[in-house]
């Protein structure tokens, strides 16, 4: 039995299990309005609520999406939006057996006293916001904090990232939301893969230390790690097999078996790279559900196909299904290209 008997404990364990179900992963579309604006600008569209709604409607009404997708992370605006026919997005997801999730952090700001690093805001009022999100249908949450290797990663930045994630996780669980724990280690830098492994081990050690101190129920969380890769500007690229080897080494050294699911972020990898790397990790059995929670690696070709044109919606939804299915197969270790 879990170590902390809050009123939601059983439900949290069930929610996490359902998200971590075989052959499925998370569609992350929780871009803040500013970030969504950048995506829309890339296809020449203005950052208006109408355009954001149209884009999210395209994604969330894709027929058959639930075969490959078990959860979708939304931005607050999207959680309260409906289709142009008046159907709540939350209900579109439920019909496909997809859990609605919500980004609850308030973004990054400079961390004074550090090496020009950042910390993640959003704990103030989090309990009441989480209770409202639950009422609206959300069943899991996400908090993304960031550490940067080229900044010279300070002990202060790691501690702040880990403590913030742990406080958020405890508050989420108290309000019925499964917390996705996401300390993103940015790809930036020219360091070798061994350096990323070292940093990831330090970060996850501290995250689990504070999760335990905060009495978080490990059976009711999900992780969203970065894969262990060389820095994006490193002279050599690593193969999917090498990335899988280093990433699994890190997970085995740092992640308790009670954690049900590891849902990787794509972090700027191309769509195909992200699929191949996930597939490599699932070539041999591992103790967790190792899957995806991709934003860019599920959306890049959708956006390109859509171009903001109603007549392209169907083709764009097909493009989404192509990536979702490929990652579903990669989750099962059966992606063949």
Residue 260: count of CB within 10 angstroms of its CB: 22
Please tell me which residue in 103, 160, 206, 224 is annotated as part of the active site: 224
Which of the residues 196 through 235 are near ligand 13P (CB under 6 A)? none
Parallel/antiparallel/unpaired status of strands 178-185 and 140-147: parallel
Cβ-based nearer residue to ligand 13P, 266 or 275: 266
The single residue among 139, 144, 167, 323 that binds ligand 13P, judged by CB under 6 A, is 144
Whole-angstrom distance, CA of residue 225 vs CA of residue 41: 28
Based on C-alpha coordinates, what's the Rg of the chain?
Answer: 19
Cβ-based nearer residue to ligand 13P, 9 or 68: 68
Please state, in angstroms and as integers, the Cα–Cα distance from residue 105 to each residue in 69, 146, 206, 241, 315, following that order. Answer: 23, 12, 20, 33, 33
Least Å from the CB of residue 6 to ligand 13P: 26
Structure tokens at 316: 């764009």
Whole-angstrom distance, CA of residue 13 vs CA of residue 8: 9
Residues in the interface with ligand 13P (CB under 6 A) total 13
Least Å from the CB of residue 130 to ligand 13P: 17
Here's the x/- map for ligand 13P, 25-54, by CB under 6 A: it reads as ---x-x------------------------
Cβ-based nearer residue to ligand 13P, 9 or 247: 247
> Helix, strand or coil for residue 116?
coil
**271 is a catalytic site residue:** no
Residues contacting 169, CB < 8 A, separation 6+: 143, 179, 181, 211, 214, 216, 221
Structure tokens at 296: 């860019």
Least Å from the CB of residue 121 to ligand 13P: 16
Here's the x/- map for ligand 13P, 67-96, by CB under 6 A: it reads as ------x-----------------------
Residue 328: count of CB within 10 angstroms of its CB: 24
Least Å from the CB of residue 24 to ligand 13P: 16
Whole-angstrom distance, CA of residue 142 vs CA of residue 270: 22
The single residue among 120, 211, 297, 330 that binds ligand 13P, judged by CB under 6 A, is 297
Least Å from the CB of residue 104 to ligand 13P: 12
Cβ-based nearer residue to ligand 13P, 9 or 187: 187
Cβ-based nearer residue to ligand 13P, 224 or 254: 224
Can you list the positions of beta strands (E) in the chain? 25-29, 69-74, 99-103, 108-110, 118-120, 140-147, 178-185, 222-223, 261-264, 289-294
Here's the x/- map for ligand 13P, 257-296, by CB under 6 A: it reads as --------xxx--------------------------xxx
**Dihedrals φ, ψ of 278, to 5°?**
-65, -40
Please tell me which residue in 31, 76, 182, 219 is annotated as part of the active site: 182
Least Å from the CB of residue 282 to ligand 13P: 18
Interaction between residue 146 and ligand 13P (CB under 6 A): no
**314 is a catalytic site residue:** no
Cβ-based nearer residue to ligand 13P, 211 or 297: 297
For Cα atoms 193, 73, 273, give the angle at the middle one, nearest 5 degrees: 35
Cβ-based nearer residue to ligand 13P, 223 or 265: 265
Taking a C-beta distance cutoff of 8 angstroms, is the pair 9, 215 a contact?
no
Helix H or strand E encompassing 317: helix 313-331
Catalytic residues: 182, 224
List of residues contacting ligand 13P (CB under 6 A): 28, 30, 73, 142, 144, 182, 265-267, 294-297
């Amino acid at each position: 039995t879990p170590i902390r008997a809050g009123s939601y404990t059983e439900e949290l364990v069930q929610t996490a299990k359902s998200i971590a179900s075989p052959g499925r992963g998370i569609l992350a579309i929780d871009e803040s309005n500013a970030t969504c604006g950048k995506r829309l600008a890339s296809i020449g569209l203005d950052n208006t609520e109408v355009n954001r709604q149209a884009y999210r409607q395209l994604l969330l009404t894709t027929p058959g999406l639930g075969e490959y997708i078990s959860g979708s992370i939304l931005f607050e605006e999207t959680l309260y939006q409906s289709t142009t026919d008046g159907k709540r997005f939350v209900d579109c997801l439920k019909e496909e057996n997809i859990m609605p999730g919500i980004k609850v952090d308030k973004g990054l700001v400079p961390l004074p006293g550090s090496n020009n690093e950042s910390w993640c805001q959003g704990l103030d009022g989090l309990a009441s916001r989480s209770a409202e999100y639950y009422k609206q249908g959300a069943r899991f949450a996400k908090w993304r904090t960031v550490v940067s290797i080229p900044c010279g990663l300070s002990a202060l930045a790691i501690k702040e990232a880990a403590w913030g994630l742990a406080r958020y996780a405890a508050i989420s669980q108290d309000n019925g939301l499964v917390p996705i724990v996401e300390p993103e280690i940015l790809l930036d830098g020219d360091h070798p893969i061994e350096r990323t492994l070292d940093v990831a081990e330090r970060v996850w050690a501290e995250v689990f230390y504070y999760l335990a101190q905060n009495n978080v129920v490990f059976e009711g969380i999900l992780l969203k790690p970065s894969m262990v890769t060389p820095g994006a500007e490193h002279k050599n690229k690593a193969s999917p097999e090498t990335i899988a080897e280093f990433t699994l080494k890190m997970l085995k050294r740092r992640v308790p078996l009670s954690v049900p699911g590891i849902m990787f972020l794509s972090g700027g990898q191309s769509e195909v790279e992200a699929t191949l790397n996930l597939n490599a990790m699932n070539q041999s059995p591992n103790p967790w559900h190792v899957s995806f929670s991709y934003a860019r690696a599920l959306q890049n070709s959708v956006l390109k196909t859509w171009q903001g044109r109603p007549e392209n919606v169907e083709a764009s939804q097909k493009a989404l299904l192509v990536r979702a299915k490929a990652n579903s197969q990669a989750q099962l270790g059966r992606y063949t290209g």
